Amino acid sequence: MTLILENSSDQAPLEALRERCQRNPNSKLFMPLAEQLRRRGCYSEAIDICTRAKTIHPRYVSCRVLLGRCLIELGMREEARQELEDVLKLDRENVLSLRIMAEILRAQGDLKGAVDYYRALVRICPTDMDAHQRVTELVQLIENSQNRESVAHESSSRHGERTSSSQLLEEGALVGSDTFAVVSSAAGSLRVSLPSSRQVLRREIKRSDFSRFAQWVNTSWQDGRAQQGRTNPVGHD
């Protein structure tokens, strides 16, 4: 594990630290200066100091951790995340970086990622009860979220099935009504276009001379009877 701060000059007055850093820009006295600025809420100035210093000391892990903390204070979580990922590439067991990364991911809604970082912290510090508790809480949140999603998906599927059934019934009703309308229309057309047999007979009777019609019927009947008699003669005793 890496120590975060050098404490030799941490309590020195702020102006004295500024002066010493100006006299020796390559020294690591910038760390207590930047830390005092962070504690006073001067995050932007602390970020400027750490950004310049990491170009001189690129593998100075404490500088990068402090830079990440200041970035978080200004709400720059994504920038802080990138900085701390670089820290963990240099020092996989940097406890503070693991904890901050876990909290960044939790705040961004990546609960599984946060659990992974807290579990890594527990492996390094098995007695860290806070990390153990965080793992338990986050795992419970993940399980609850999965259960809610499962219930929502089930409800959505049932709703979709009911909707499909309703649509089929509505479509069936529309098809039935359309078919009935077509048949009714066709039947109406037939009723209009095809007159009844009574109407035909009445027209024909009206058009002809009724007396001739009656005579024709009588004559046809008598001829039919005579023809039947010739075909089937009756024997005499």
- Annotate 22-63 with DSSP letters as a single string: HH-TTSTTHHHHHHHHHHTT-HHHHHHHHHHHHHHSTT-HHH
Nearest-angstrom CA–CA distance, 29 and 21: 6
Residues 6+ apart with CB under 8 A from 88: 94, 97, 98, 101
Measured from the Cβ of residue 177, the count of other Cβ atoms closer than 10 Å reads: 10
Rounded distance, CA 160 to CA 200, Å?
59
Lowest mean pLDDT among 50-54, 74-78, 137-141, 158-162: 158-162
Q: What tens digit of pLDDT does each residue of 88-119 get? A: 999 999 999 999 999 999 999 999 999 999 99
For the chain, percent of residues with pLDDT exceeding 70 = 61
- Greater pLDDT, 227 or 79: 79
For 84, the token pair is 């701390």
Confidence of residue 170 (pLDDT cuts 50, 70, 90): low
Site of tokens 């019927």: 217
**d(C-alpha 14, C-alpha 37), whole Å:** 8
Please state, in angstroms and rounded to a whole number, the distance separating the CA atoms of residues 114 and 120.
10
Per-residue pLDDT, averaged over 211-218, amounts to 54
Q: Which residue has the tokens 């998906």?
A: 153
Most confident stretch, 75-89, 146-160, 166-180: 75-89
CB 6 within 8 A of CB 31: yes
Tokens 């809610």 label which residue?
Answer: 148
Q: Which pLDDT belongs to residue 161?
A: 65
Q: Which of 3-7, 91-95, 182-186 has maximum average pLDDT? A: 91-95
Residue 191 token pair: 């009723």
CA dist 76 and 67 (Å) reads 11
pLDDT at 136 over 80: yes
Mean pLDDT, the chain, whole residue set = 76
pLDDT confidence band for 223 (50 / 70 / 90) = low
User: Looking at the predicted structure, is the pLDDT value of residue 25 above 90?
Assistant: no
- For 77, half-sphere exposure in the C-beta direction (CA atoms, 13 angstrom radius) is 11
Residue 220 CA to residue 62 CA, distance in Å, equals 130
pLDDT in the model for residue 5? 44
Is residue 196 pLDDT above 90, yes or no?
no
What H or E segment, with its residue span, contains residue 67?
helix 61-73
Instruction: Return the minimum-mean-pLDDT range out of 44-58, 150-164, 180-194.
Output: 180-194
CATH class of 1-91: mainly alpha
Q: What is the pLDDT of residue 219?
A: 61
